Each structure stands twice: as C-alpha cells, then as structure tokens.
Structure 1
Amino acid sequence: MKNKLAILTDIHGNRSALTAVLDEIDKDKEIEHIYCLGDLVGIGYETNEVLQLLFSRNDISFVLGNHDEAILDIISGREPYSKGKERDHHKWIASHLDRKFIQYLTAIPTTITKSYNGKIFLFLHYHLNEHNQFLSVDKEPASEKLDELYRTSNADIVCFGHHHVVHHFKSKERLYLNPSSLGCYHKPLAPFAIMTIGEKGELNVTLREVPYDNKEFLLGYNRLNVPDADYILKIFHGNQHLNYL
C-alpha cells in the first residue's frame, strides 16, 4: 500500500502558522505521519504554545534544529553558537521556556532514517559535517553539490530545512526536498509538503501554502518587547506588520 507523509520545518515559534498547517493536515486522513525538521522555536516568540501543540500529538517525529540547540545550550550552561543580538534573543526565548518541555527537546535526535516502500529517507535540519555540526547555508544549491555532500549516504530521499526557501532537486542519485519555513515567510502563508510513496516506490511531492491570519503574531513582537524585533520583522517577515499599524 502507498504511504503518505507530511513534511514541515522551521516553525520558529509561530503558533498561528502551525495551527493552520496542522488543521490542513488533519483534513487528509491518508496522511499517516508528520516529520518536523527542526527549529521549532526561536525567531518567533510563541515558544510554549508551539511546543504544547507539537508534543501533544503522537503522529510527529522531530529532528533538532540550530535554534532548538542554542536554547538548550543556554539552559544547560553551555556556550551557544549565537552571538550578539541573536544570543540576546535566544536568552530571552530560553528565559520564557516552560521547563516541562526541556525533557522533550533534549530527547530529539539530529537525524532520522526511515524506509517506506523500499525508499530510504534521511530527515535532518540541514547538511552536517563530519563532526555532526550544521554546515553554513549554501545560497546557490544544486543537485550536483548535494550529491557530493551525500556521496556516502544510502538515502534515496533527503529532507531538510534551515534555508528558508524551497529546495526540490532530483538527481540520478536521490531526491532532495526542503519545503521552506512554515513560520517565517514574507506573506501570510505557511508552507509545508506532502509526499506520497507508491507501492513500487514511486514518489509524488506536493508543495502546499496555507493562508492564515498573522496580524496578532506580528504585532506581538513589539508589544512583548522581543529582543531584535525590528530586525526579525524585516528579514524574516518582510515588514508585513507595517500593514497593520
């Protein structure tokens, strides 16, 4: 029988966007599982609301993102990767995190490998080096470069996030998919992907964008004095909040 999966990534503490996508997924009774590819928190400020939604379900598998990792590092007293204003933001997020979620976050792996109808999937937040550290974002990705990165992998499909744009590359070696950031977009839309694996391993990818009302979420940055709000609203949300002032 065929398998049908939902793939989402980079929620970034945006409850309204996440709710819209989960409602859309729940309408499709054929979707059997959801893969969430990291950065559940950070950038957006609705940390606890997002984690409550995610961890209340039993049909989602997670991999750890760099923002999730930074928050855990700060809470545990380790040195996070972030610096300057980004570190201030991460410290603010960490200070508002409900401690009941720490056990769930610390249990999230860096990668997941699964097989569906003979196709091997690798799920991760972004490409890793030999030390299991995230590589810098490649602003000009291509299937040739990705094939070189994954030359020793037996995965047929590599699903990832981190870079907030769609990647959909098919080479002779494998398929690469990044459905783009669910929670950070320059329009009031929340992207995710649906992948169907047929009985003989045939693949069908559908990229979706779900409309939602982002007004209260965007205005909340300044109302709550979220650190680095102006930069975040400009770079990650395209200054959409100005439409509501």
Structure 2
Amino acid sequence: MKYGIISDIHSNLEALNIILDYLKRTEKIDRFICCGDIVGYGAKPNECTEIIRQLDNCHTVAGNHDWGAVGLEDTSFFNPIALAAVEWTGRHLTEDNRNYLKNFASEIEENNFILVHGSPRDPINEYIFEKSTFLENLPRIKKNICFVGHTHVPLCLYATPSQEIKGIPLDDGIVLEINPSYKYLINCGSVGQPRDGDPRASCGIYDEETNILRIKRIKYDIAKTQEEILNAKLPSTLALRLSYGR
C-alpha cells in the first residue's frame, strides 16, 4: 500500500489541487491520509472539504479548526486572527460540509500507524515540536508510526527500543527508511499554510511495502490564493504570510 499524507490544508484550494494532482498522477497513491484541518484561515472551505469528501480512499481525522468551525471545539483560546477566520468559516460552510466535519474521529489506526492531528495524548490541540513532548507521548504510540499535523512544520522524532530519542528535519526530497523496531512521530508539513520558512505546499509519501517515507514540496499559485483571501475580507495577515511560509 502506498499512502499520500496530507495535513493542514486550511481552505487553500490552489495548494490542495497541486498536491493531489501530483500524488495521483506521479506517485500513483493507493490511499490518502489527512491529519486534519481541512478548513480555517483560507477562503475556500467548501471547495476543499468537498474535494476530500470525494476521495473514496481517504482516511481523515479532525483538526482543531475543523471542529472549531462547527462548534465542537472551544475556540476561546484562539488568537484573534485565527478566531476571525474560524468564525468566518463557520458562517460559510454548507450544511452537508458541516455534518461531514462533525463526523470526523479524533484518532484512526491502520496497519502499522496511527493518525491524529495534535498528539496521541491530546489528538486535537497538543503541539509536538520537542523531544521531551514526544517522550511524554511515547507510551500512547502503540504502532510503528504516529502521523500528526497541527504544527505546520515537517519533522521526524523517533525512539529506539532503549528509548533513545532522536530527531531529524524532513526536508524536500528526503528519503527516510522506517525501522520496524522504532517508534516514530512524523509530521509531513502543511499543504495550505507552511510555517517552516518554505512557502511551497508540503506532503508525504509512505510506501508500506518498502517502509520508505519521502517528503515532497511543490510550488503553487500563492498570488491567486492571497487574492481569494483578501476578496473574502479575511485578515490580510493570512494572505501575506503565505509568501514567506511563516
């Protein structure tokens, strides 16, 4: 089985279309997995949600913006810009798309991996940047790999059988051979709002047969996406940040 790994689309239609086209045509993906946050921040929540809905071979978990937009997650702690965007999204989602987002699970298990948005300990809200946080979550990782999103930053943290913790950045084109005896936490980055200083859309490709994971970054039409955000009267910061990948 060959998986395409996407996360944090955030209503960025241009980026989503580019990534899915690559994964379908070039990588010949068998199944997609999405680590949450289809919506939020961007101007095309319905279009992006409908594209994911129509992928009959896609497993998706809830992100904080997905559930925040439909009233299932407390948004009182969102920063003002994120709050404005999630409230805008909630007003613009169709009823069918609202129901679709409401029905997401917070965690999915498949074969040798689990899938969450934040962390195994807190599937919706916890950010994992540091080795210490990974170590605290380690007892909850019952599979070889835990795929996450939420931080918008590609990263791999892993633990050896002796619980030695190591981390490596997941740069464009990197090839990571998964060791079946290790425990991995892997973030393949953000499709629609990267925050690692690289504005290109990010995704992962995981081949279950070879146990190889790769990261792919792809340019998309940022200017068009920015225009859509501004035309929707969303905060201008959400458009400007896309140019810098921050």
Specify the TM-score bucket, using the shorter chain as the normaliser. 0.7 to 0.9
Q: Is 1:238 aligned with 2:244? A: yes
> Any idea what the Cα deviations from partners look like across 1:108-158, whole Å, max 9, x if unmatched?
10000011xxxx20100011547x6522x344x22x641331214311101
User: In the aligned structure 2, how far is the partner of 1:44 from the partner of 1:54?
Assistant: 16
Moved more, 32-41 or 182-191: 182-191
User: In the aligned structure 2, how far is the partner of 1:174 from the partner of 1:180?
Assistant: 19
Q: Is 1:161 aligned with 2:167? A: no
Q: Is 1:126 aligned with 2:114? A: no
User: In the aligned structure 1, how far is the partner of 2:137 from the partner of 2:74?
Assistant: 28
CA 1:80–1:22 in structure 2 vs 1: closer, same or farther (change >3 Å)?
A: same
Moved more, 18-27 or 231-240: 231-240
1:193: which partner in 2? Answer: 204
SS of corresponding position for 1:42: coil
TM-score by length of 1: 0.82
Q: CA deviation at 1:41?
A: 0.2
2:38: which partner in 1? Answer: 40
> Any idea what the Cα deviations from partners look like across 1:12-33, whole Å, max 9, x if unmatched?
0000100001111111464210
SS of corresponding position for 1:191: strand
SS of corresponding position for 1:150: helix
Is the Cα–Cα contact under 8 Å of residues 121 and 140 in structure 2 kept in the other structure?
A: no
User: In the aligned structure 2, how far is the partner of 1:238 from the partner of 1:29?
Assistant: 27
User: In the aligned structure 2, how far is the partner of 1:188 from the partner of 1:235?
Assistant: 9
Which amino acid is the alignment partner of residue 189 of structure 1? R
1:211: which partner in 2? Answer: 219
Share of identical aligned residues, percent? 21
1:31: which partner in 2? Answer: 29
Q: CA deviation at 1:83?
A: 5.6
SS of corresponding position for 1:151: helix
Count residues with an aligned counterpart.
Answer: 222
Q: Is 1:88 aligned with 2:116? A: no
Moved more, 17-26 or 87-96: 87-96
Give 1:146's match in structure 2, choosing from 130, 134, 142: 134
1:243: which partner in 2? Answer: none
Is the Cα–Cα contact under 8 Å of residues 184 and 237 in structure 1 kept in the other structure?
A: no
Moved more, 91-100 or 15-24: 91-100
TM-score by length of 2: 0.81
Give 1:21's match in structure 2, choosing from 14, 19, 22: 19
Is the Cα–Cα contact under 8 Å of residues 199 and 245 in structure 2 kept in the other structure?
A: no
1:114: which partner in 2? Answer: 110
> Any idea what the Cα deviations from partners look like across 1:54-104, whole Å, max 9, x if unmatched?
11120111000000111011xx7x753436443232211111111121221
Unaligned stretches of 5+ residues in structure 1: 241-245
1:59: which partner in 2? Answer: 57
User: In the aligned structure 2, how far is the partner of 1:239 from the partner of 1:162?
Assistant: 15
CA 1:217–1:113 in structure 2 vs 1: closer, same or farther (change >3 Å)?
A: same
CA 1:124–1:133 in structure 2 vs 1: closer, same or farther (change >3 Å)?
A: closer
CA 1:235–1:125 in structure 2 vs 1: closer, same or farther (change >3 Å)?
A: same
User: In the aligned structure 2, how far is the partner of 1:97 from the partner of 1:64?
Assistant: 16
Which amino acid is the alignment partner of residue 65 of structure 1? G
User: In the aligned structure 2, how far is the partner of 1:133 from the partner of 1:36?
Assistant: 13
Give 1:9's match in structure 2, choosing from 2, 7, 20: 7
Which amino acid is the alignment partner of residue 40 of structure 1? I
The structure number with the bigger radius of gyration is: 1
